[in-house]
Amino acid sequence: MDRIYITTPMYYVNAEPHLGHTYTTIIADTLKRYYRQQGVDAFLLTGTDEHGDKIAQAAKANGMSPQAYADKISAVFRATWDECGIDYDHFLRTTDDYHKKFVQEVLQKIYEAGDIYFGEYGGFYCYGCERFYTEKELVSGKCPDHQTVPAYIKEKNYFFRMSKYQQRLLETLESKPDLIRPERYRGEVLAFLREPLEDLSISRPKSRLDWGIPLPFDGEHVTYVWFDALLNYVSVLKHKGEEVFEAYWPRANHLIAKDILKPHAIYWPTMLMAAGLPLYDHLNVHGYWVMDSGKMSKSLGNVVRPLDMKKRFGMDAFRYFLLREMPFGQDANFSYDALINRINADLANNFGNLVSRVLAMQQRYFSGAVQRLGDWRQEDTALRDKFAQAEGEMKQHMAALQFHRALESLWGAIDHANRYIVQTAPFTIYKEEAQRPRVGEILHHLLEAIRTSAHLLAPFLPDTSRQLHTLLGISADEVNSRKPWGSFFAAGHKVSPPSVLFPRIEPEGEK
Ligand code: ME8
């Protein structure tokens, strides 16, 4: 059986879930649902990253112990994903015992193999990123991501011989062009690897930071948070048993934004090499959501919280916007205007109207009973073919993680269905008694268009798809039926009267 292992980053518990975390988690969920629908066994991992300076500092600022603080925020992440209907298979916390144990086992193994040594290091440390920067990487002396001046830290640490694996990583990237995608991020990593790679400091002295996993070979040091967190992708599978590990590793598709490209594209593969494990299948890197071209921040009061979005717009409408608006790999702008326009235009008007017109006519003309199909006319075949074409295109776009293009293709078919109504004019020809059987046929084809949409939409808008199946009177065990167009509905099968799928949104002065 085909399998895929999909992961989100383990989110830091120093902030509550916002738009950015939600986007990555939603695309992960969409991919999982999509692969499942294709008959692929998919496992989705998400969770929280809880050790390190950043969390210790946030806990302190909140007057809590790091553990109590991590417990609290991690629970918020989990509850949020539950509320959002994210179909994850496992929620990992880097403070889980099995994870800590695995990190120590890997450290011990790499240490014994001679790839970890003790040395002194001085460098510019950004707490926001939890990593050292070289002078060259800083922009006007500041961290390019956080725009803060990093602290200069000099201390004795353990180092991972990352440099030893530079050549092998470079060769792997050259021989596997889709290991890191889209291409621009692969290009960035290749450029980086053409410069000498430094070894990675992987410990912090306990005297400075004790919120971390102790090194198994030196109790005076704790593990650097990235060396700890990255191993989550494997620790969970090992925890579930050797067969689970064998089944899903290395079929990993990691999903991240560009902020954490370096740890995932350089630290992680070299760590896997040193641990004697095969590399992941793909590292999939998306861009940033920006707010009217600025950064989302608490102090600016423009943080987008997923549960607020669910309440105000509905989860599926919010999902639709995120998936439709961002071309995977590029930055996208979040604005309430754009969100409301898309919901009103694509969901309420275009798709919502199609469904309600068809169900209303079916009700009014035939009391909801599906009519028999006669001979197909050219426009009927064209409608069916348009949906088949959309499905084919969606497959290609999903393989390239182009969610927005997949939805665009489907909406092309939905537009076509709306035009089919105008072209065939069932509401006009119904007036002639002799034309009534044809009206029944037209509506039958339109119900097929809605049934096909419900199927193709399921990974993207799962609640809407369920609602559509209910309206169409399709039972749970029939939802995945791929019976050909025209042979699903028996004559006399009852569909429901319309109900509003996507209410029109009136702006309320959001910015
Ligand atoms: O980096 N636009 O956690 P984190 C798009 N703990 N995506 C965004 C975003 C934005 N504006 N802001 C955040 C960490 N994200 C580490 C990961 S993994 C072993 C350890 C999303 O809480 C995006 O997925 O800072 C990004 O990579 C991630 O949140 C960073 O989450």
Q: What's the whole-number mean pLDDT along residues 33-43?
A: 97
Phi, psi of 274 (to 5 degrees): -65, -30
User: How far is residue 368's CA from residue 496's CA, in Å, rounded to a whole number?
Assistant: 6
Q: Residues 322-347: what's their mean pLDDT? A: 96
Where do we find the tokens 């641990």? 275
Q: How confident is the model at residue 88 (pLDDT cuts 50, 70, 90)?
A: very high
CB 310 within 8 A of CB 318: yes
Cα(420) to ligand 1 centroid in Å equals 44
Assign 3-class secondary structure to 405-474. Answer: HHHHHHHHHHHHHHHHHHHHCHHHHCCCHHHHHHHHHHHHHHHHHHHHHHHHHCCCCHHHHHHHHHHCCC
What's the pLDDT score for residue 298?
67
Q: How far apart are CA 146 and CA 137, in angstroms?
A: 13
Residue 112 burial (C-beta neighbours within 10 Å; 0-12, 13-18, 19+): exposed
**Is the model's pLDDT at 81 over the cut of 70?**
yes
Token digits for 339?
A: 């969100």
Tell me the backbone φ, ψ of residue 80, rounded to 5 degrees: -65, -45
User: What's the rounded Cα separation, in Å, for the pair 162 and 274?
Assistant: 9
Q: Quick one: which H or E segment has residue 357?
A: helix 353-366
At 301 the pLDDT is: 74
Q: What is the C-alpha separation between 247 and 241, in angstroms, rounded?
A: 10
Report the C-alpha gap between 84 and 311 in whole angstroms. 11
pLDDT at 444: 98
Q: What is the mean pLDDT of residues 53-70?
A: 96
| Crossing angle between the packed helical segments 315-325 and 306-313, to the nearest 10 degrees | 110
Q: Is the pLDDT of residue 299 over 80?
A: no
pLDDT in tens, 451-509: 999 999 999 999 999 999 999 999 988 988 889 999 999 999 999 999 999 999 998 87
Nearest Cα neighbor of 104 from 263, 52, 120, 112 is 112
What pTM does this model have?
0.95
Q: Which two tokens stand for residue 349?
A: 């008007």
Question: What average pLDDT score do residues 12-37 get?
Answer: 97
Chain centre distance of CA 216: 35
Provide the Cα torsion 60, 223, 139, 265; round to 10°.
-130
State which ligand 1 atom lies nearest to the alpha carbon of 289. Answer: 2
Residue 135: which pLDDT band, with cuts at 50, 70 and 90?
confident
The larger pLDDT score, comparing residue 451 to residue 134, is at: 451
Count Cβ neighbours within 10 Å for each residue of 328-343 and write b for 16 or more, e otherwise.
bbeebebebeebbebb
Look up residue 490 and give its two tokens.
């028996």
* Intra-chain end-to-end CA distance of the chain, in Å: 48
**pLDDT tier at 134 (50, 70, 90 boundaries)?**
confident
Of the pLDDT bands very low, low, confident and very high (cuts 50, 70, 90), residue 295 is low
pLDDT in the model for residue 121: 82
Long-range pairs for 373-381: beta carbons < 8 A, 24 or more residues apart: 373/441, 373/444, 373/445, 373/486, 374/437, 374/438, 374/441, 376/486, 379/420, 379/423, 379/424, 380/441, 380/442, 380/445
Helices (H), ranges, 84-143? 97-112
Establish whether 298 is a catalytic residue: yes
Distance 9 CA to ligand 1 centre (A): 6
What percentage of the chain exceeds 90 in pLDDT? Answer: 89
Residues 6+ apart with CB under 8 A from 207: 220
- At 237-291, the pLDDT tens digits run 999 999 999 999 999 999 999 999 999 999 999 999 999 999 999 999 999 999 8
Domain range summary for the chain, segments of one domain joined by +: 3-286, 335-480
Among 24, 50, 232, residue to substitute to test ligand 1 (most atoms within 8 Å of Cβ): 24
Cβ-contact 66, 29 below 8 angstroms: no
Q: Distance of CA 387 to CAs 314, 321, 365, 371, 499, Å?
A: 26, 22, 26, 21, 24
Residue range 430-444: average pLDDT? 97
Q: What is the mean pLDDT of residues 224-236?
A: 97
Strand, helix or coil for residue 362: helix
Asked if 160 and 203 count as a contact pair (C-beta separation under 8 A), the reply is: no
pLDDT bucket at 145, cuts 50 / 70 / 90: confident
Active site residue 90: no
Q: Is 129 a catalytic residue?
A: yes
For ligand 1, whether the C-beta of 256 sits within 6 Å is yes
The pLDDT of residue 180 is above 60: yes
Q: Does ligand 1 come within 6 angstroms of the Cβ of 275?
A: no
Q: Is the minimum distance from the CB of 272 to ligand 1 under 6 angstroms?
A: no
Instruction: Give me the pLDDT at residue 132, please.
Output: 85
Catalytic residue (choose from 129, 254, 264, 445): 129
Instruction: Check pLDDT > 60 for residue 293.
Output: no
335-480 is a CATH 1.10.730.10 domain: yes
Closest residue by Cα to atom 2, ligand 1, is 288
Extract the tokens encoding 184.
Answer: 């621009």
Please choose, from the candidates 6, 510, 509, the residue with its C-alpha nearest in 3D space to the C-alpha of residue 255.
Answer: 6
When mean pLDDT is compared across 149-163, 214-228, 234-248, 346-360, the lowest value belongs to: 149-163
Q: What pLDDT shows up at residue 511?
A: 58
User: At 191, is the pLDDT very low, low, confident or very high (cuts 50, 70, 90)?
Assistant: very high
Task: Inform me whether the pLDDT recorded for 341 exceeds 90.
Answer: yes
For 3-286, which CATH class?
A: alpha beta
Q: Rounded CA gap, 287 and 256, in Å? A: 9
Percent of the chain with pLDDT over 70: 98
Contact 193, 187 (CB under 8 A): no
pLDDT at position 22, please? 98
Instruction: Report which ligand 1 atom has the smallest distance to the Cα of 48.
Output: 6
In 3D space, the residue among 412, 407, 411, 405 whose CA is nearest the CA of residue 327 turns out to be 405
**Residue 280 Cβ contacting ligand 1 at under 6 Å:** no
Taking the centre of ligand 1 as the mean of its atom positions, its distance from the CA of residue 257, in whole angstroms, is 6
